Amino acid sequence: MNPVVNPVADPAIDPVGYPGADPIALPWAGLTDYQCFGCSPHNPGGLHLVFEAHPDGVCSRFSLGRGFESYPGIVHGGLTGVICDETMGNLIVLRHGRSAFTVSMRQRFVFPLVVDRPYTCVARLDRETEGNRLYQASAEVLDADGAVCAMATATYQPFVLDDALRQLKLGTPEATALSAALSARTFPSPLSTPNGATHDHPSH
């Protein structure tokens, strides 16, 4: 299985013409038992996505090997959805300091992603819905020339930890792990909105 290549720190790879920024530390990235398939650095089979600030929100630059293909040489479309969902969801975490479940997501595939080529996923929040009970977000996957290969829109429902634990009825080990992940709230400075404003992170 070819490993995931995430060239976020390589200045020679800049798929959207945006200068490489420092990776943003997610609040729970340091937890050794955090195994998120999309963004955990500890999951050996995961995507190991790394996020950077972007003028529109956040982005993640990635290249997927043949272990993630469907047709020979083509990245599985489901992985494109995972990357869009991860980038949009983590934008909510970084901007608002709130975790949220995906309520719905709609995708459009414009052109297949090819294995071992660099791509960038850029996520944005709909400013008209900020402060509402639900968040609306969108994402685009761009190739090295800036052409759109895939698009996604999604709705997210922020949740309170105690409510999630009660409704999910998790066993003790899983509930403990979820509590640890969501309690690791050492957030970086609030992520700026596209118009330059920032949002303070609410306490939970």
What CATH number corresponds to the domain at position 105? 3.10.129.10
- Establish if 197 belongs to a structural domain: no
Give the tens place of pLDDT for each residue, 12-35. Answer: 333 343 455 678 877 776 666 778
Residue 4 per-residue DSSP state: P
- Establish if 190 belongs to a structural domain: no
Based on the structure, what is the number of domains in the chain? Answer: 1
Rounded CA separation 195/132 (Å): 18
Give the tens place of pLDDT for each residue, 107-150. Answer: 999 999 999 999 999 999 987 565 668 899 999 999 999 999 99
Strands, E assignment, the chain? 23-24, 51-54, 57-62, 100-109, 119-125, 135-142, 148-158
Structural domain that includes position 145: 23-183
More confident residue, 186 or 81: 81
- Establish if 150 belongs to a structural domain: yes
Q: Is the pTM of this model over 0.85?
A: no
Rounded CA separation 66/58 (Å): 26
pLDDT at 184 over 90: no
Average pLDDT taken over every residue of the chain: 77
Please enumerate in sequence order all residues whose Cβ is within 8 A of that of 72, keeping only pairs 6 or more positions apart, or say none: none
